[in-house]
Amino acid sequence: MAEVIKVGAFGIVGVMLALQFKGQKPEYSMYIGFALSILIFCYVLKRAEVIMLQLDIIRKFLGSAEGYLSILLKVIGITYICEFSASICKDAGYGAVADQIEILGKLSVMLAGLPILFSMIEQIQSFV
């Protein structure tokens, strides 16, 4: 909880700093926004390492169904990268590009989930 508060405060302070430059030097404002995004992203990657260690424990319990966990991780990665990229594009004023990135993310998530759907269909057919 404390980490979330720290990152939130860091983001608010950074945005307030960027707003100071927005009127006179809008490009500086955009650079500050990009730097904030990258710094927060790096912090998130550090936290992801802890999560990956916990997921290794879960992977041991799953045994042969380990593929489902890798699909879950792919989907989480796709959504995070697409959301991050789309947000930067929106902040830069390229909403149409951001929308296309979001569409790509949704299609990629759907494509990544197809093996689970096929597995479920096979199990249903084995009961019939």
For residue 124, give the nearest of 88, 116, 60, 98 by alpha carbon: 116
Query: Do 69 and 59 contact (CB within 8 A), yes or no?
Result: yes
Write down the mean pLDDT value for the chain.
Answer: 86
Query: Do 75 and 109 contact (CB within 8 A), yes or no?
Result: yes
pLDDT above 80: residue 122: yes
Give the domain range for residue 30. Answer: 2-127
Total of domains in the chain: 1
pLDDT above 90: residue 59: no
pLDDT confidence of residue 8: 86
Tokens 């030097």 correspond to what residue? 25
pLDDT tens per residue across span 82-91: 998 998 888 8
pLDDT confidence of residue 105: 94
Residue 34 CA, chain-centre distance (Å), reads 16
pLDDT above 90: residue 126: no
pLDDT tens per residue across span 22-57: 888 888 888 888 899 889 888 888 887 888 888 888
pLDDT confidence of residue 52: 80
pLDDT confidence of residue 108: 94
